[in-house]
Amino acid sequence: MNLASLPKAELHMHIEGSFEPELMFKIAKRNGIQLPYESVDALKACYAFNNLQEFLDIYYQGVNVLQTEEDFYDLAWAYLERAKKDNIVHTEIFFDPQSHTSRGIAFDTVINGLHRAFEDGKKELDISYYIIACFLRHLPEQAGFDIYPDILRHKDKIIGVGLDSSEIGHPPEKYQRLFAQAKKDGFKMVAHAGEEGPAEYIWQAINLLKVDRIDHGNRCLDDQQLVSTIIEKKLALTVCPLSNLKLCVVDQLKNHPIRTMLNQGLKATINSDDPAYFGGYINDNFEQLQQAIGLSNTEIKQLITNSFNASFLNEKVKAKYLAKLNDLGSVNTI
């Protein structure tokens, strides 16, 4: 049994970030949209980023071709087929509703396309899922309040809310009223924090937003008291190694802090973030990390175990997946 074939959960993946250039060109053509690139290769040549904002500029340009329910279905289905190859058995995906509604696409078009694909994925590919709607933090909190009734209206399809987009200059405190409302309404809550932003933003995500999980969280290592608090509160980190490399959060994969996180007792997990842009899906993240820092079988097993434990699945289903992992993933055989 090898690493690639072990069952795993993915907890940090933006569905718009799984939009492969080939599919982007296909959907653009179908919708009569001219992309500002001559070819798939010309587009891919632009995927070189010095920071989060340079990536986001390209990412928001990419979503512009998504218009119909079928487009959102196809986007999600492509991810699911790819996820199946990596033996993802459970996924909790993000989507950015404001990046679509701001272009005049109805919220229902987006969520209905995504939801139908994930329901089909559950039936046909045996992948369980939850959907998380993220607020774009570079927009005012009021813009989040404006879209919130749509999220609430689809609470049967959306388990939680998140916070993403440009981090620096947009601290979690900006969103505390909206997250308080979401908590009242029974949503799970996550937030990107400490990807580029300082440890203080992670403190705010915990203390002001009261998140259930921290997305990225790398910068917690700057503050030992914060590390202790994260451990005490049993908050997991959804870490994204290839994203960290491509967005220059780390200079080389061999300097990635994943081992330090595990050694300090943090519940870190491995995720792909925006796999179409960062050069790899979940198994690529594991494999490249394994090559760069020689992850041991025990560490791999710990990371995958964390992914199930940190998910929003109920305890019974978690136990079922963990039993399967333990059957297949005896430490000696990875």
Residues paired with residue 90 on neighbouring β-strands, in sequence order: 9, 128
- Structure token pair of residue 125: 């590919």
Which residues make Cβ contacts (< 8 Å) with residue 45, sequence separation at least 6? none
Told to judge if 195 belongs to the known catalytic residues of this protein, a careful annotator would answer yes
d(CA 26, CA 28): 6
Fill in the per-residue mask, 151 to 190: x = in contact with ligand HPA (CB under 6 A), - = not in contact.
-------------xx-------------------------
DSSP element (H, E) containing 290:
helix 282-293
How near is the Cβ of 125 to Zn ion at its closest, in Å? 23
- Structure token pair of residue 67: 């218009």
User: Please, which residue, 212 or 273, has the CB nearer to ligand HPA?
Assistant: 273
Q: How many residues bind Zn ion (CB under 5 A)?
A: 1
Exposed, middle or buried, 315 (CB in 10 Å: 0-12/13-18/19+)?
exposed
What is the three-class DSSP state of 90? strand
**Contacting range for Zn ion; rule: CB under 5 A; set: 128-136, 148-156, 268-276, 323-331:** 268-276
**Tokens 């049993």, residue?**
234
Cβ 190 vs Cβ 160: under 8 Å: yes
Asked whether position 10 contacts Zn ion by CB under 5 A, the answer is: no
User: Please, which residue, 272 or 311, has the CB nearer to ligand HPA?
Assistant: 272
- The number of CA neighbours under 13 Å toward the Cβ of 203 is 9
277 binds, among Zn ion, ligand HPA, none (CB under 5 to 8 A by kind): none
Which residues make Cβ contacts (< 8 Å) with residue 224, sequence separation at least 6? none
17 binds, among ligand HPA, Zn ion, none (CB under 5 to 8 A by kind): ligand HPA
User: Please, which residue, 154 or 192, has the CB nearer to Zn ion?
Assistant: 192
What are the distances in angstroms from CA 203 to CA 215, 224, 262? 13, 12, 20
52 binds, among Zn ion, ligand HPA, none (CB under 5 to 8 A by kind): ligand HPA
Asked whether position 273 contacts Zn ion by CB under 5 A, the answer is: yes
Asked whether position 17 contacts ligand HPA by CB under 6 A, the answer is: yes
Residues paired with residue 76 on neighbouring β-strands, in sequence order: none
Asked whether position 244 contacts ligand HPA by CB under 6 A, the answer is: no
- The number of CA neighbours under 13 Å toward the Cβ of 48 is 4
For ligand HPA, the binding residues in 34-93 under the rule CB under 6 A are 52, 59
Asked whether position 273 contacts ligand HPA by CB under 6 A, the answer is: yes
299 binds, among ligand HPA, Zn ion, none (CB under 5 to 8 A by kind): none
Of 20, 92, 167, 195, the active-site residue reads 195
User: Please, which residue, 10 or 164, has the CB nearer to ligand HPA?
Assistant: 164
**Contacting range for Zn ion; rule: CB under 5 A; set: 84-92, 97-105, 272-280, 321-329:** 272-280
- Structure token pair of residue 114: 């995504």
Which residues participate in catalysis according to the annotation? 195
> Which residues make up the interface to ligand HPA (CB under 6 A)?
14, 17, 52, 59, 164-165, 192, 195, 243, 273-274
